[in-house]
Amino acid sequence: MSEESDSLRTSPSVASLSENELLPAPEPLGYVCSLTEELVTKAKEELQEKPEWRLRDVQALRDMVRKEYPNLSTSLDDAFLLRFLRARKFDYDRALQLLVNYHSCRRSWPEVFNNLKPSALKDVLASGFLTVLPHTDPRGCHILCIRPDRWIPSSYPITENIRAIYLTLEKLIQSEETQVNGIVILADYKGVSLSKASHFGPFIAKKVIGILQDGFPIRIKAVHVVNEPRIFKGIFAIIKPFLKEKIANRFFLHGSDLNSLHTNLPRSILPKEYGGTAGELDITAWNEVLLASEEVFVREFCQPVPACDSILGEALLPEGLTSDAQCDDSMRAMKSQLYSCY
């Protein structure tokens, strides 16, 4: 590790936290690493994670939270804080900002994050709008498969789909394997019409992307789009301005060319709907995984928010989270873009 990387672990903002020893706090749960030797090595090389420093790093982040955000209602467990350290390659300051953004996002979009539990999203899960494929890609990434054509707008608002996506991401990120390897998104836009695309306006696009890039501890390694109609040019025109260059470069548009998809995702891990040999696409298994996690989500997302958490106002939100009014002009421009694609 470079001297610059080491300095991140011992920055002045971390070194002078002895006063926090006076702050009462529940004893964090003990951490037991579940990574294989191969993943430990990968975490060292890609995330700058040193097993011998891991608990020291977690304690440093915990101390920073207690000092700089003493009223923040958050878990301080080793395993929970590790998600944020890994997502920001053990840079203490960036990990702290990500943690604060994570909670700010949850407070700022209650219609998505309040009462976020599997039983509240049974209709979305049953529709097949999203699932996680049973096999990982060659890099060990879980594959989140999203199929917008399965959504019927008259049945429920688009925010329910977004809730289902975050529910799935929350479940995936509980795994240390996912924290290290990241995920891949496979988006099938077959049959997406102009009327359906218009529901995904710039306000929602900006909020979703803002959270994924700056407010959630997950590493998105690739986004593969298949069967995209002409209308997707308009959709991507909405999304692209909000994407950081690193993420934008990880978008791959394959159209109906499944051979192009297979150069990235082998046929052996894909269902036959995408030219694979892993059987038919089955949404049942992942739905059962989520529904079995009901108690965890009730405990985490269905409790009253302490009044002192009001410190997490819009001033701390990632850039992508803005008011509805700010996006009125963008909405009009977006509709023009979509119609021009026809």
Cα angle at 201 between 169 and 111, to 5 degrees? 50
Q: Which of 289, 226, 272 is nearest to 252 (CA)?
A: 226
Tens-digit pLDDT string for the chain (342 aa): 444 444 344 333 333 333 343 333 444 457 999 999 999 999 999 999 999 999 999 999 999 999 999 999 999 999 999 999 999 999 999 999 999 999 999 999 999 999 999 999 999 999 999 999 999 999 999 999 999 999 999 999 999 999 999 999 999 999 999 999 999 999 999 988 878 877 877 788 889 999 999 999 999 999 999 999 887 877 788 788 889 999 999 999 999 999 999 999 999 999 999 999 999 999 999 999 999 999 999 998 887 766 555 555 444 555 555 444 444 444 444 444 444 444
Residue 222 φ/ψ, nearest 5 degrees: -165, 150
Single pTM value for the model: 0.83
pLDDT at position 232, please?
80
List of domains in the chain = 37-108 (1.10.8.20), 114-299 (3.40.525.10)
Burial environment of residue 176 by CB neighbours within 10 A (0 to 12, 13 to 18, 19 or more):
buried
pLDDT digits (tens, 9 = 90+) for 82-92: 999 999 999 99
* Inter-residue contact 96 to 64 (CB < 8 Å): yes
d(CA 318, CA 107): 12
* Inter-residue contact 146 to 185 (CB < 8 Å): yes
Report helix, strand or coil for 188.
strand
pLDDT at position 298, please?
94
Cα dihedral value 32, 215, 265, 136, nearest 10 = 20
pLDDT at position 34, please?
96
pLDDT at position 321, please?
52
pLDDT at position 23, please?
38
Cα radius of gyration (the chain): 21
d(CA 248, CA 250): 5
Residue 225 φ/ψ, nearest 5 degrees: -110, 125
**What residues contact 177, with CB distance under 8 A and at least 6 apart?**
34, 35, 39, 140
d(CA 30, CA 13): 25
Going through 68-135 in order, the beta strands assigned E by DSSP cover 130-132
